[in-house]
Amino acid sequence: MSTNKSRRNFLKVSAATGGGFMLGFSILTSCEPKPVVAMEPELVMPEKWMELNGFIKIGDNGVVTIMSPNPEIGQNVKTAMPMIIAEELDVDWKNVVVEQGKLDTENFERQIAGGSQSIRHGWEPLRNTGATARAMLVSAAAEKLEVPAGELRTENGVIHHDASGKSIGYGEVASLAATMEVPTEVELKDPKDFKIIGHGKKNVDAKKIATGKPLFGIDVQREGMLYAGIIHPPAFGLELKSFDAAAALAMPGITDVFSIDCAPEGKEMQWSDGATVRKQVAVVGKSTWQVMQAKKAVTVEWAKASDAEDTAGHKAKMADLIANGKAEEARRDGDPEAAFASAAKIVEASYSAPFLPHNTMEPMNFFAHVTDEKAELHGPVQTPEFLEKSIATLFDMDPAQIEVGMTRMGGGFGRRLYGSFAVEAALISKQAGAPVKLVYTREDDMTQGTYRPDYLVKYRAGLDADGKLIAFHVRGTGTHGSPIFANRFPAGTVDNYLAENISMDSNISTGAWRAPRSNFIAGAEQAFLDEVAEAAGKDPIDFRLELFDRAIKDPVGEKNDYDAERYAGVLKLVRKESGWDGDAGEARGVAAYYCHNSYVAQVLHLELDDNGNPKVDKVDCAVDCGIVVNPEGARNQIEGGIVDGIGHALYGQMTFTDGKPDHQNFDSYRLIRHAEAPREINTYFVDNGIKPTGLGEPSLPPIMGALANAIYAAKGERVYDQPFMGAALRG
């Protein structure tokens, strides 16, 4: 592999004291930030090594520090990405220390945690980094041992010359290696020789998490730090008019109350700031509790800015758009209208889903210390580079004056793509003239947004007399955008196909929510396909495989964005592993979906409790995501997505009355409980040697369809509206 991928692609710095070796690398098109220490207590640290951002560091005793370049949201990239480097570096994982770094646009590119793309984009650059470092170490060893480099091999951080029986550790040649030329070409390992990649490794932060060590944004402490809270409009459609803080300022510990403008006139803010309420009231004090109490004492007057919305009116508007609205034609194959006119049977169904909050375990929070000279920010954010740009714009600063440190996140799910809470912290710090940590309450986060949009989609399918699908029409709408992916399955499998999009405006703020759009449309699509399969008199899996066979042998159109063979492959695998063809004797549902460059098929096994309510017994899940870097972390992601998807499909919804969110905390907002999670989840990864693709999100979307299909198998009634527990059952 060529190492010449960019001018910043590889840097080397030798330790001034002669003991350390440091290698810098660019993530190129990857998506993330840098490192935080995670090591076993018995690991002996070296006496000498260099301390810089974004580097491999090799100590004089052979201990290696590897920086994880991406924000860690719980998806375990802080373990998986260093594993990739360590594999090609050929070191013993036991001798690796992992650090999480700060934003560094000089050494990293696209520092974003989102879209399940961290491993996919980092795969080759990270391998290249490890292999280049190994090559330079080998060159140094060849010089020291006075043997040809081609006769040397590496293993677990030691360089061996088998012919002479000599060996030398990485730490012994680290300083010399730093003086070597960076090779223009390096040889990467054959995947069959992997010793770290593909072998399960524990989360490098697991012990710290379990023992309560400070890792998260909410743990950040600084000398002289004050605490802050915000007061935002109680309903969408309102804006700040005036406030009276006299009572609050008289309370113990309260130092200031003032308003902030998060998007001042003339300032061009980033897309990632779009979730914020522009003008809010900030309360600053000496403790979080004092601030929370003082917020209640501030009298605020709100003015109407736009019409208030309620759930019933919103749904009615959406239904009218589906029935009568002007749509954008996203894809057309053949002549759908003529095909429907000649169809022997037409199947029609509509599906809906409500707004959903993100409900991260760790509430929104951020530390900021902003002066005229610099801005220091630390906290949980998925888009640190865009945050830096916002701060630079707001305070007319050069990016060199801004430091953005990433902490571990207690959940993101897309909510922390929008760093508006960090912008608020910075504005509060500057006006208060002190370091400040802003902490949202659960009510702040749940009522301010940003929500998963609500959606409505209508499907029609036309069958001929033999049960063959000859026409397919999907028409969808949602708040601020349609959920439809026009070029995904079943596009490409049917001669006459039409996809139409309608967007609906609203003053309710929406944004990315785990597996955007897919989190709804996958379940709706897969539930509808089961209904069509039943109308055609075919087994649900057989029906899907027939469509994939068409896409493999004679695809319709040229824009299909999926690999039909891989898609069919996961369906066949889950069919086998779930015992689908046997006499299972229980209610079950199947679904398969492609998103984030990966393929997932699931069979969900269901029981009904004594009250006739669904209870998931088991889920079998087949996944094609290419090479699995860390099987342990990968299974955790798959299982988490499945549980998350089941919970939201059954219970999740945010409703509104006159623009005011009806649910403000978990006393009224229903989440899945431990006893309601599947008793068993079995995950089967396809071993195909393909480069890794997405994994944090793909298991969530299809499970909603598998659940809907299993409910039908158990009750004989189809579910069309989420949440299923509370949605009307329509026969």
Per-residue DSSP letters for 159-194? EEETTTTEEEEHHHHHHHHTTSPPPSB-PPPPGGG-
* Amino acid letter for position 656: F
pLDDT for 48 equals 57
Pairing assessment for the beta strands 279-285 and 436-439 based on DSSP bridges = unpaired
Contact by Cβ (8 Å): 201, 632:
yes
Interior/surface letters 429-448, b for 16+ CB within 10 angstroms, e for the rest: bbbbebbbbbbbbbebbbbb
Mean pLDDT by 10 residues, the chain (731 residues): 49 49 46 37 58 61 85 93 94 92 74 85 89 93 96 96 95 87 92 96 94 95 97 96 98 98 90 84 98 98 94 96 97 98 98 97 97 97 94 96 95 94 97 98 93 98 97 98 98 98 95 96 98 98 98 95 98 97 83 98 95 95 97 97 98 96 95 96 96 96 98 96 71 34
Tokens of 318: 């959406």
Q: Is residue 547 within a helix (H) or strand (E), and if so which, with residue range?
A: helix 540-553
Summarised one tens digit per residue, pLDDT across range 116-144 is 888 998 899 889 889 999 999 999 999 99
DSSP per residue, 87-150: HHHT--GGGEEEEE-B--TTT-S-----TT-HHHHHHHHHHHHHHHHHHHHHHHHHHHHTS-GG
Locate 260 and state its tokens.
């902030």
CA proximity to 78, closest of 163, 195, 202, 236: 202
As a whole number of angstroms, the distance between CA 349 and CA 376 comes to 53
- 706: CB partners within 8 A, 6+ apart: 526, 589, 590, 591, 602, 603, 604, 619
Burial (CB < 10 A; 0-12, 13-18, 19+), residue 610, is exposed
> Distance between CA atoms of 138 and 669, rounded to whole angstroms?
59
Give dist(CA 259, CA 184) in Å, integer.
Answer: 56
Look at residue 583 in the predicted model and tell me its pLDDT.
Answer: 66
Q: In this predicted structure, what is the pLDDT of residue 423?
A: 96
- Asked if residues 475 and 500 have their Cβ atoms less than 8 Å apart, the reply is yes
568-571: list long-range contacts, CB under 8 Å, 24+ apart: 568/544, 569/599, 569/624, 569/686, 570/599, 570/600, 570/601, 570/622, 570/623, 570/624, 570/686, 571/541, 571/544, 571/545, 571/601, 571/622
What span, in angstroms and rounded, lies between the C-alpha atoms of 276 and 233? 11
Residues contacting 183, CB < 8 A, separation 6+: 3, 132, 135, 136, 139
C-alpha pair distances (Å), 721 with each of 46, 125, 352, 643, 652: 59, 44, 5, 19, 11
**In sequence order, what DSSP letters do the residues of 487-529 get, joined into one string?**
TSTTTTSSSEEEEEEEEE--SS-B---SSTTHHHHHHHHHHHH
Tokens of 488: 């995904």
User: How do 96-100 and 64-68 pair as beta strands?
Assistant: parallel
Helix (H) or strand (E) holding 349: strand 345-353
Distance CA 230, CA 415 (A): 18
Give which of 76, 116, 83, 78 is closest to 99, Cα–Cα: 78
pTM: 0.93
Asked if 98 contacts 82 with a C-beta cutoff of 8 angstroms, the reply is yes
| Cβ-contact 97, 718 below 8 angstroms | no
pLDDT the model gives residue 23: 63
Structural domains in the chain, sorted by start: 10-193 (3.30.365.10), 220-305+364-439 (3.30.365.10), 455-730 (3.30.365.10)
Of 325, 328, 321, 254, residue with least CA distance to 292: 254
Give the closest residue to 43 by CA, choosing from 285, 280, 270, 207: 207
Q: Is the peptide bond before 82 cis (omega within 30 degrees of 0)?
A: no
